Structure 1
Amino acid sequence: MYSLPASEARQRWSDLLNHAHREPVGITIRGREQVVVLDADLAHRALAALDDAIDRAAVDAVRAELEDDPETLPLADVARELGIELD
């Protein structure tokens, strides 16, 4: 990832934006990275992937909790007891 100081980023804003379309650009203040400028499409895809990963982790946690619950019954068993046919 390309990196540059905030003072230089202000002076070369147009160049920074052009560069950010090719790869993320880290902006530093006193040598510490503070923000990253990146292409909007990449940012949207990254955030969507992060949301998906969070959702999958939540589903996995619920599944693990249900598997450990001795009172949890499979849907097919409940449907059979109630006389409901599942397709």
Structure 2
Amino acid sequence: MYNLPATEARQRWSDLIDHAHREPVAITVRGREQVVVLEAELAHRALEALEDAIDRAAVDQARRELADDPETLPLKQVARELGITLG
């Protein structure tokens, strides 16, 4: 990742945008990263992947909780007890 001080980023905005199409650019203030500028398509893919990972973690957690819950009953058993026919 390319680093660029904020003062230079302001002065060379169009160069920063051009560079961000090739690789992410970290904007720094006093040597510390503050924000990252990256190509829109890459940002969208990264956010989608992050959302998918969060969803998978939530499903895994729910499955663990269900597996540990002695009160959990299979759907077929609940339907049978309620007189419901599953398709």
- Report if TM-score (shorter chain) is over 0.5: yes
SS in 2 for 1:72: coil
What amino acid maps onto 2:10 in structure 1?
R
What amino acid maps onto 1:51 in structure 2?
E
- Which residue in the other structure is 2:37 paired with? 37
| Mapping 1:59-78, distance limit 5 Å | 59-78=59-78
- Structure 1 residue 10 and structure 2 residue 10: aligned? yes
SS in 2 for 1:36: strand
Q: CA deviation at 1:58?
A: 1.0
Structure 1 gaps of 5+ residues are: none
Q: CA deviation at 1:83?
A: 4.7
Q: CA deviation at 1:82?
A: 4.0
SS in 2 for 1:22: coil
The total of aligned residue pairs comes to: 87
Q: RMSD of the alignment, in Å? A: 1.3
- Which residue in the other structure is 1:24 paired with? 24
* Percent identity over paired residues: 79
TM-score normalised according to structure 1 size: 0.88
What amino acid maps onto 1:19 in structure 2?
H
Q: CA deviation at 1:80?
A: 3.7
SS in 2 for 1:4: strand
